């Protein structure tokens, strides 16, 4: 169990640019989540995958945001035409589908700064 | 709608003091799960405990203990004999039992500062 890995750790971009983040979940976990956390707030749910299927998207996920998990393993989160309001920590988590409500295991996050 | 409230924004204690972090939740579900996570300065959220709504028995793990009271919709977390390494932001979270997504609804967190 090497934990959930996210890359990059930090990303600074200019407004209007596109950015892509990557998440590698714990290998045996088939559930993957993306959350966003702004300063002084708790993480907010963005989207959820079970294997390669994206089963739920939050209303927070505007049309500029897209997430994929093509082979049911790693996932990417892309933000197009970034805005300053997109500046936040983007957290990825994974969990097992064994048992009820298995705990989510989080990565260290990608901190996005839009200038 | 589901909601988690952590009214304490920041708490500062001196090492070896006991400290309780409050968590109040709202849900229309009859069955649900509650969680506590720790977020140290490194940023990674660390799972501490999961409690299902069937079981109101309190739990103790070392210096940590949790008091779940369904009647008041509270799931409070106590650290006994706090240590500097306990300094972190602590989040309480809620999820529906057996929900399709198992997503967590988090509170806003409590920043705990333990002074030496």
**What averages of pLDDT result for each successive group of 10 residues across chain A (115 residues)?**
90 98 94 94 94 91 94 94 97 85 90 97
Residue B105: which of B41, B28, B40 has the closest Cα?
B28
| B85 three-state secondary structure | helix
Query: What residue in B sits closest to A39 (Cα-Cα)?
Result: B108
Sign of the CA dihedral with B49 first, then A42, B74, and A95 last: negative
Residues B63-110: tens digit of each pLDDT: 999 999 999 999 999 999 999 999 999 999 999 876 667 789 999 999
**Is the CB of residue A57 less than 8 Å away from at least one CB of chain B?**
no
Tokens at A63, concatenated: 């049309």
Residue B105: which of B92, B93, B96 has the closest Cα?
B93
Instruction: Specify burial of residue B105 (Cβ count, 10 A radius: 0-12, 13-18, 19+).
Output: buried
Please provide the size of chain A in residues: 115
Tokens at B48, concatenated: 């501490």
CB contact under 8 A, A101 and B109: no
CB contact under 8 A, B91 and A41: no
């Amino acid at each position: 169990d090497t934990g959930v890995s996210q890359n990059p750790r930090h990303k600074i971009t200019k407004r209007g640019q596109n950015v892509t983040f990557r998440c590698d979940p714990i290998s045996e976990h088939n559930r993957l989540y993306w959350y966003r956390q702004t300063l002084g707030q708790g993480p907010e749910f963005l989207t959820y995958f079970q294997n390669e299927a994206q089963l739920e998207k939050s209303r927070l996920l505007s049309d500029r945001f897209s997430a994929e998990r093509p082979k049911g393993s790693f996932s990417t989160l892309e933000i197009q035409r970034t805005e300053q309001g997109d500046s936040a920590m983007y957290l990825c988590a994974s969990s097992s589908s064994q048992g009820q409500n298995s705990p989510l295991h989080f990565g260290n996050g990608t901190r996005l700064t839009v200038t | 709608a589901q909601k988690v409230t952590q009214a304490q924004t920041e708490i500062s204690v001196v090492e070896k003091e006991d400290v309780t972090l409050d968590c109040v939740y709202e849900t229309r579900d009859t069955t649900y799960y509650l969680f506590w996570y720790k977020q140290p300065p490194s940023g990674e959220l660390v799972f501490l405990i999961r409690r299902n709504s069937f079981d109101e028995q309190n739990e103790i793990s070392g210096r940590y203990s949790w008091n779940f009271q369904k009647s008041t919709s509270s799931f409070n977390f106590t650290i006994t004999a706090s240590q500097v390494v306990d300094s972190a932001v602590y989040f309480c979270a809620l999820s529906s039992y057996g929900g399709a997504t198992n997503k967590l609804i988090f509170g806003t967190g409590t920043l705990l500062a333990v002074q030496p």
